[in-house]
Amino acid sequence: MRRIGIIGMGYVGLTLAAGMARKGYEVHGVDIRPAVLESLSRGRPHIFEPGVEEAFGELIGKNLVVASELPADGVDAAVICVSTPIDEITREPDLRNLAAAARHVAERCAPSTLVVVRSTVPVGASRSVVLPPLVAGWGSARLVMAPERTIQGQALRELVDLPQVVGGLDEESLELGRALFSGFAKQIVAVSNLETAELVKLTNNCHTDVIYSFGNEVAMLTERFGLDPLEVIRATNLDYPRPDIAKPGYVGGGCLSKDPYLMIASSGAGGPVPHLIRTARELNEELPVHVAHRMVELMRATGGSTLTVLGWAYKGWPPTDDMRGTPIAAMMPVFEDAGITVLGHDPLVGADVIRAYGGRPVDPVSGFRAADAVLVITDHPQYRALDVAGLLRGSPVRVVFDSWRILDAAAVTGCGVRYAGLGFDPMVRPTVTEVPA
């Protein structure tokens, strides 16, 4: 199988297209958004991911093409990489894109085509949503679930290095899936069915969400007690032979902000409720709101109404421009209600996006000169390298909230500026709570 169709040119489809084209496959990328197709046809990806722009710039029009439909004469394998969002209110999964992609494959391809579900879906969706249109059109189908598990910023490397999980509708499908992904992945992990592969992806991401939530829980406690969460976690982990505790931090992105709800939906009406997964997600979603309220309190204590926010993407390392699950989305309503003017900067997020979220774009130097307070949301390398003492000298900034503790705290306080972070404020004295005997 050398002729591959990839439906959906979001993060998952885009990186897979670049990676497979690099390996010599004939890749046909499909998307229904005209602006995306126009940009990609010029070799200019609409999403930042190291190595992807180089691949498209070199290979577009050669063994890599993009269009609004699959080729009329079909492909050897059609990989479904469309988004599977959740409803913002009900948190229920919206699988209309998945169903539409399956219908398109059934219309443009043949029963000999291997269909691969790579989108993250609730357990059972490959069989209940993708399979029926294929069987209705063809009478039978070759179908596998092979979940994407890469991290943004390292996707092209991890496409090769990470074990590729493949679950098939039947043995023939499974063997075809193994053969396809063996063309570029170093290791194939064959599982017994579609549903196992679906649950592998959800388990990976929900476990990560839970791990991060525990670090955030610790930070909420240290804030209450006037302690330092990094000191607690550092001492907890040092040479201790149990799983490490994660540092506190925001948890967003297209996967971790969505997949726990797909796992919850997988249990079905009346099924067992994944309490731990639900609670972890609620805690991680509450953290940005909590920090926003804390920032308002600090600004009221130190004076001023202009805040510079450094970092608008959901994370800074590995660097990304992805705004899905970004902390700033939950913070802005709090700042607006408090009458705070927000200035914004991100090394990869465009000025138009910052404006769309309600901020006024600035560079870091201007941001320090114009603000009464600074909030660092992401740990982008550019922010780690800031000369914070130089930026603060002569500026009106009175408080710096360093979410990831990447700045020189001594340099900040040495300028007479209050310094705080997640679960940490050295100006709050440790407290002792009376415990009943």
Whether residue 169 sits in one domain with residue 102 = yes
Sign of CA dihedral 398, 404, 406, 409: positive
Distance of CA 395 to the CA centre of its chain: 34
Q: In Å, how far are 15, 165, 177, 296 from 182, measured between CA atoms? A: 17, 11, 8, 53
Whether residue 382 sits in one domain with residue 298 = yes
Which pLDDT score is estimated for 271? 78
Tokens linked to 16 = 């897979």
Whether residue 316 sits in one domain with residue 274 = no
318 sits in the region (left: phi over 0; alpha: psi -120 to 50; else beta) called: beta
87 sits in the region (left: phi over 0; alpha: psi -120 to 50; else beta) called: beta
Whether residue 110 sits in one domain with residue 249 = no
Give the type of residue at 146. A
Which pLDDT score is estimated for 428? 84
Task: Give the contacts of 14 (CB within 8 A, at least 6 positions apart).
Answer: 29, 45, 47, 49, 52
**Domain CATH for 209:** 1.10.1040
434: pLDDT strictly greater than 70: no
pLDDT confidence band for 435 (50 / 70 / 90): low
Q: Give dist(CA 44, CA 71) in Å, integer.
A: 22
Count of residues for the chain?
Answer: 437
Domain end residue (candidates: 194, 227, 246): 194
Whether residue 296 sits in one domain with residue 237 = no
The reply to whether 402 falls in a domain is yes
CA atoms within 13 A on the CB side of 256: 27
pLDDT more than 90, % of the chain: 95
Q: Give dist(CA 227, CA 431) in Å, integer.
A: 9
437: pLDDT strictly greater than 80: no
Q: In Å, how far are 59, 102, 137, 165, 175 from 172, measured between CA atoms? A: 32, 20, 19, 16, 5
Mean pLDDT confidence for 394-401: 98
Q: Give dist(CA 262, CA 265) in Å, integer.
A: 5
Which pLDDT score is estimated for 432? 64
Domain end residue (candidates: 141, 163, 194): 194
Q: What is the pTM of this model?
A: 0.94
Instruction: Tell me the pLDDT tens digit for each residue of 113-148.
Output: 999 999 999 999 999 999 999 999 999 999 999 999
Whether residue 211 sits in one domain with residue 185 = no
273: pLDDT strictly greater than 90: no
Helices (H) and strands (E) in the chain, counts: 19, 14
Which pLDDT score is estimated for 262? 96
CB 61 within 8 A of CB 29: no
The reply to whether 88 falls in a domain is yes
**Domain CATH for 63:** 3.40.50.720
Which pLDDT score is estimated for 84? 97
The residues facing 114 across adjacent strands are: 77, 142
CB 313 within 8 A of CB 320: yes
Mean pLDDT confidence for 21-25: 96
The reply to whether 425 falls in a domain is no
107: pLDDT strictly greater than 70: yes
Of residues 280, 313, 274, the one with CA closest to residue 209: 280
pLDDT more than 70, % of the chain: 98
The reply to whether 437 falls in a domain is no
Give the type of residue at 208. T
Whether residue 252 sits in one domain with residue 126 = no
Which pLDDT score is estimated for 174? 98
Instruction: Tell me the pLDDT tens digit for each residue of 166-223.
Output: 999 999 999 999 999 999 999 999 999 999 999 999 999 999 999 999 999 999 999 9
Whether residue 318 sits in one domain with residue 407 = yes
Domain end residue (candidates: 140, 172, 194): 194
pLDDT confidence band for 402 (50 / 70 / 90): very high
Domain enclosing residue 250, as ranges: 205-280
Tell me how many degrees the CA angle 112-114-120 measures, rounded to the nearest 5.
155
pLDDT confidence band for 374 (50 / 70 / 90): very high
State the pairing for strand pair 77-80/306-310: unpaired
Q: Give dist(CA 180, CA 117) in Å, integer.
A: 13
433: pLDDT strictly greater than 90: no
Which pLDDT score is estimated for 272? 85
CB 391 within 8 A of CB 374: no
CB 148 within 8 A of CB 177: no
pLDDT confidence band for 386 (50 / 70 / 90): very high
Whether residue 381 sits in one domain with residue 344 = yes
The reply to whether 286 falls in a domain is no
The reply to whether 287 falls in a domain is no
Whether residue 164 sits in one domain with residue 92 = yes
Distance of CA 216 to the CA centre of its chain: 18
Instruction: Tell me the pLDDT tens digit for each residue of 342-366.
Output: 999 999 999 999 999 999 999 999 9
Whether residue 297 sits in one domain with residue 275 = no
pLDDT confidence band for 268 (50 / 70 / 90): confident
When divided into structural domains, the chain yields a total of: 3
Q: What is the mean pLDDT of the chain?
A: 96
77: pLDDT strictly greater than 90: yes
The reply to whether 431 falls in a domain is no
The reply to whether 434 falls in a domain is no
Whether residue 339 sits in one domain with residue 229 = no
Mean pLDDT confidence for 266-278: 87
Mean pLDDT confidence for 251-277: 91
